[in-house]
Amino acid sequence: MGETTLTGRVVSAHGRHYRVAIQPSGETRHCYPRGKRTGIAVGDNVQILPEGQQEGLITEILPRRNLFYRSDAQRSKLFAANIDQLLLVLAAEPVFSDDLLGRALVAAHSADISVVILLNKADLPGTAAARARLAVPESLGTPVLSLSALDYAQVHAQLDALLKNQCTLLLGQSGMGKSTLLNALVPEAQAATQAHSEALGTGRHTTTQTRLHPLPGGGDIIDSPGFQAFGLQHLTPHEIAHGFPEFAPAIEQCRFYNCTHQHEPECGVLAAMASGQISANRHALYMRILAENQAAKRY
């Protein structure tokens, strides 16, 4: 005798507790996974067995379109599943990290998720210099928008069409203005964040959990906590290379089909770097990610 299951979408995750919006009503239930199951992400479509009026047991994760995550030697940190695009929020102040930006781009490219870079705090004088630091991703086809999240009219003028009917993951280091931006886009979000941090007793309004918010104009935006590290230990060497789209034409020139683009003779990538077509900084990032993954495998 099977009980009736419901289908829903995970809209927030906190430890092993999940809030699931049941389809089609949209009412949310507090759910937890069956057994020791982990690895459920915001954005996942799941089946649940209802328990009472407000709770449920997650019995199954339905097939995913994609999963965006980072991982270090200890564990994986899931950002979100089934996303259409990534909105990477940067600003001139605090200074953003080229390394973290590069890693987020590699993670997105390797999962075939499109990225838009949002250079926030356009009102600050350092913005032109910050924009110049985005020349490489911009030349590789990643759109760069620039605005001030404090100016709500500007936010709507530049982002409404981009976000409409899409599921967008907001990602950025702390302090770049993600919360400010979210409040401009989803007026109820501030209340939700505030209530949550009060419940946790932190008294701070920083995002501590990943949460999906429906956008008033259609579509969803997923807010995630700011991060300070971005390990990519789940990627194979091939996937890492695929995460650097500018390497693709050069890789075709490599003599060896299994070239790792580190030291091999007649390597197309090393040749392209020598001639200035591939930036030495980007190749150094590629080497760092590869070295971390190799070191992790030795333990």
Stretch that binds ligand GDP, among 115-123, 157-165, 213-221, 235-243 (CB under 6 A): 115-123
Considering only 12, 71, 120, 210, the residue that binds ligand GDP (CB under 6 A) is 120
Kindly state whether residue 193 participates in binding ligand GDP, applying the rule CB under 6 A: no
Stretch that binds ligand GDP, among 171-179, 213-221, 238-246, 267-275 (CB under 6 A): 171-179
Kindly state whether residue 83 participates in binding ligand GDP, applying the rule CB under 6 A: no
Long-range Cβ contacts of 206-209 (<8 Å, 24+ apart): 206/174, 206/179, 207/178, 207/179, 208/14, 209/12, 209/13, 209/14
Stretch that binds ligand GDP, among 36-44, 168-176, 231-239, 286-294 (CB under 6 A): 168-176
Kindly state whether residue 192 participates in binding ligand GDP, applying the rule CB under 6 A: no
Kindly state whether residue 146 participates in binding ligand GDP, applying the rule CB under 6 A: no
Phi, psi torsion values for 287, nearest 5 degrees:
-65, -40
Residues in the chain: 299
Smaller CB distance to ligand GDP: residue 223 or 246?
223
Kindly state whether residue 123 participates in binding ligand GDP, applying the rule CB under 6 A: yes
Distance CA 109, CA 243 (A): 5
Considering only 31, 78, 149, 222, the residue that binds ligand GDP (CB under 6 A) is 149
Considering only 10, 115, 176, 273, the residue that binds ligand GDP (CB under 6 A) is 176
Smaller CB distance to ligand GDP: residue 174 or 202?
174
Distance CA 202, CA 154 (A): 32
Kindly state whether residue 261 participates in binding ligand GDP, applying the rule CB under 6 A: no
Kindly state whether residue 293 participates in binding ligand GDP, applying the rule CB under 6 A: no
Q: Is 58 exposed, middle or buried (0-12, 13-18, 19+ CB in 10 A)?
A: buried
Q: Using DSSP bridges, classify how beta strands 6-14 and 45-51 pair: parallel, antiparallel or unpaired.
A: antiparallel
DSSP notation for 10-66: EEEEETTEEEEEETTT--EEEEEESTT-----TT-EEEEEEETTTEEEEEEEPPPS-
Please tell me whether residue 279 adopts helix, strand or coil conformation. coil
Binding-site ranges for ligand GDP (CB under 6 A): 120-121, 123-124, 148-150, 172, 174-180, 226
